[in-house]
Structure 1
């Protein structure tokens, strides 16, 4: 660096870079120590010969053109290589908060070139305006106490790039002593992509939870030694629990299954793990308030791509309404069959190409058959009608189909034992 006698205005910059005090030899060979004020005085008075420093690692001053050469201490090659090749930003500042180190990753992350940053306050470049007051307060506190909330801790904060855009970063601050002076290094990682991925995952989980709530479908997972490690929010709610209120476990889950259905569930899971096939069973669960619900539990075995171990993923569907409807329908059929038996009334149905698809239990009994013993069909039914009455029945049905009107006829039937009955 060159500084002529009429460029003393550069002194402020010069002094900040010179290690003060400087130990030197004067013209008489005596050792002298020059502080900043003394060195400034000698510089301005244009001494013909100031002398040579004891160590060239410090400074050399030439009286003719006032050339000042700085000699840095030996560089740690490994440390320098790591700093230059690091994918994380490494930024160093002195006790005044001015930048002394700005590696290539810092340029890429923040957009500022190294020459644009050295000697400038860190807060003026990468700290958002709304956080500058807190930054200055924290930095001042650290200088006074050597303690700080962010020192030697991994923290997520918001930083500012050259374009004025704010973005999330992961930060670690480490104080280091260099040549007896305290330096502060920040290791910064841009986590924008990770944050976006986390937000997307969170949004997906929200949508999944909403979809599961609407459909009353919960999900679960077993891994490791086939212990349950995950229950979705709807899984908890189907079982009458608050999401996250208890830690998932196979033991707890089995305790919530209706006692006589537990073996069925355990057997289904064991077979799936052993044979690698999916399973699907209906079972009952008992909620904390004693309510019994029906659920459809399904699961399949997969291989974890990371651990290469088996894990079971499954779903649970609340089918209580369906089961209650089925039970009610079954009960109604029982009542209907009883009523038909009492009144000796059977019922039948034709669909499709007017082929009979349903005969009630009493219909079978009236015809002298065991309920469900044969499959309903129009051909079979006509064969049980007295021969001379068959045409009358067929004509009545054909007219009803064509005109859409009900019909009512009396006819004879022949039971398997030969008995003839009027219906």
Structure 2
């Protein structure tokens, strides 16, 4: 470009890039042909300075700018401008190349990266990228939401130093194993606690990033919150276990029932027979009394009186009926327990059937008696007019049993495992119909539920019981059974130092 801004040299590559033949373009103003219209005023002002001084904002640099071709299309070029002084005047030499394809590739790459970022951000799984030193390079949206740590707080920090309440030793060991074995390592269950104290479970996979030089350059961690799945799996296992126990209990109940019937029938026979023998004994007594008065058969009477004295006939006449009554009462109680076991352990149905809730609660009271009889009196307040309710009997029995056992434990925690008779607490079970709902209330006189944990008692794994006394699954499973499987509700009302009432509401129409 000469000092007047006209094109003085034009090579073959320029012809190919701009579409102008050498004879068409030589001597023409650069500004009118190669500069896009929107930049021409700016170019003209800068060129006036350049032609006087040889200086300008683009001189001596490599820049990316827009150019104009013979078809009137704008396209990107990479441009390097040098100043050259000839015969006392400044000229400009421009070396350039068309970077349209590169720009398109860069744009496609940017779009691909943007798409990848959006994909990673929208993944329902946790995605964390680490350097080989364990520093966080990537932290997606699910990681932020699940682990309660914003991306800007995690990036650049060591994963081991982030405030996550999880089993870091297990994760650290898995990272070492992944590095040493150069393979993906999976951890099926990693327990962690959220910011609000809610306990959850993660499934993690840790994969090493291997560079072209076969070096470990970092790790990719993918994690999924499997708490709900874990709860459902355990609920199924619990249900299967209860079904197996139920089948066993039903078999035992059947085996007990047959001899119990024999014993009961024989005791009733003995009681009836003793009544007949007692009548005969009194007749004999009257005969011996008459013979004694008449002074007859003295020798035989002496023998009879001796035998009567030795066996204490009066004692036997008083105690044998009492023993038979107590035995009959005991065998009837056994029969009641057996019947309750058979009904409670009846194989679960996958379809709802009409159930007598009053009877179900009476059965639960019977089979759970060993849990509450030492610490509480159990009071039933059942609505005799409550209609059968469509439900899954096996699973609802499990809910009732969980709540009654929890009530007994709450009272035991307050008064001790073996209180005196007048120190016992009370468990009250009531049923009522309320419009289109059946309501079951189970009330205890324990200490109540502390306010600090009331929002978490239906969370999986949450328990205040000591190790070995509870898994934290009872109320979570009960909630799932009542709410998810029956379309009902499970709520509670509690007062510190006075106790808790759990309210189950079940729809009367399935």
Question: TM-score under structure 1 normalisation?
Answer: 0.51
2:292 aligned with 1:386 = no
User: Which of 129, 132, 137 is equivalent to 1:230?
Assistant: 137
Matches within 5 A, 1:362-381: 364=245, 367=248
The DSSP-based 3-state class of the residue aligned with 1:270 is helix
Structure 2 equivalent of residue 126 of structure 1:
34
RMSD over equivalenced CA pairs, Å: 4.8
Would the aligned equivalents of 2:76 and 2:100 in 1 still touch at CA under 8 Å? yes
2:206 aligned with 1:299 = yes
Would the aligned equivalents of 1:256 and 1:287 in 2 still touch at CA under 8 Å? no
2:227 aligned with 1:323 = yes
C-alpha spacing 1:206/1:294, structure 2 compared with 1 (3 Å): farther
Structure 1 equivalent of residue 180 of structure 2:
274
C-alpha spacing 1:138/1:278, structure 2 compared with 1 (3 Å): same
2:242 aligned with 1:360 = yes
Distance 1:247 1:155 in 2: 37
2:94 aligned with 1:201 = no
Distance 1:120 1:226 in 2: 61
Question: TM-score under structure 2 normalisation?
Answer: 0.43
2:11 aligned with 1:103 = yes
Question: How big is the shift at 1:132?
Answer: 0.9
Distance 2:199 2:94 in 1: 59
Would the aligned equivalents of 2:135 and 2:158 in 1 still touch at CA under 8 Å? no
- Specify which structure has the bigger relative contact order, considering alpha-carbon pairs within 8 angstroms and separated by 6 or more residues: 2
C-alpha spacing 1:260/1:104, structure 2 compared with 1 (3 Å): same
Distance 1:121 1:133 in 2: 13
Question: How big is the shift at 1:280?
Answer: 2.8
Would the aligned equivalents of 2:130 and 2:138 in 1 still touch at CA under 8 Å? no
2:169 aligned with 1:263 = yes
Which blocks of at least 5 consecutive residues in structure 1 are unaligned?
Answer: 1-92, 338-347, 349-357, 369-380, 410-423
Q: How many residues align?
A: 272
Structure 2 equivalent of residue 54 of structure 1:
none
Question: How big is the shift at 1:287?
Answer: 8.3
The DSSP-based 3-state class of the residue aligned with 2:65 is strand
Distance 2:34 2:191 in 1: 60
C-alpha spacing 1:187/1:364, structure 2 compared with 1 (3 Å): same
Question: How big is the shift at 1:138?
Answer: 1.6
Distance 1:283 1:277 in 2: 19
C-alpha spacing 1:220/1:258, structure 2 compared with 1 (3 Å): closer
Which blocks of at least 5 consecutive residues in structure 2 are unaligned?
Answer: 259-341, 360-510
Structure 1 equivalent of residue 44 of structure 2:
136
Would the aligned equivalents of 1:235 and 1:316 in 2 still touch at CA under 8 Å? no
Matches within 5 A, 1:15-414: 93-178=1-86, 181-223=89-131, 225-226=132-133, 228=135, 230-234=137-141, 237-238=144-145, 240=148, 243=151, 245=152, 248-249=155-156, 251-256=157-162, 258=164, 261-281=167-187, 283=190, 295-305=202-212, 307-317=213-223, 319=225, 322-323=226-227, 326=230, 358-360=240-242, 364=245, 367=248, 385-386=254-255
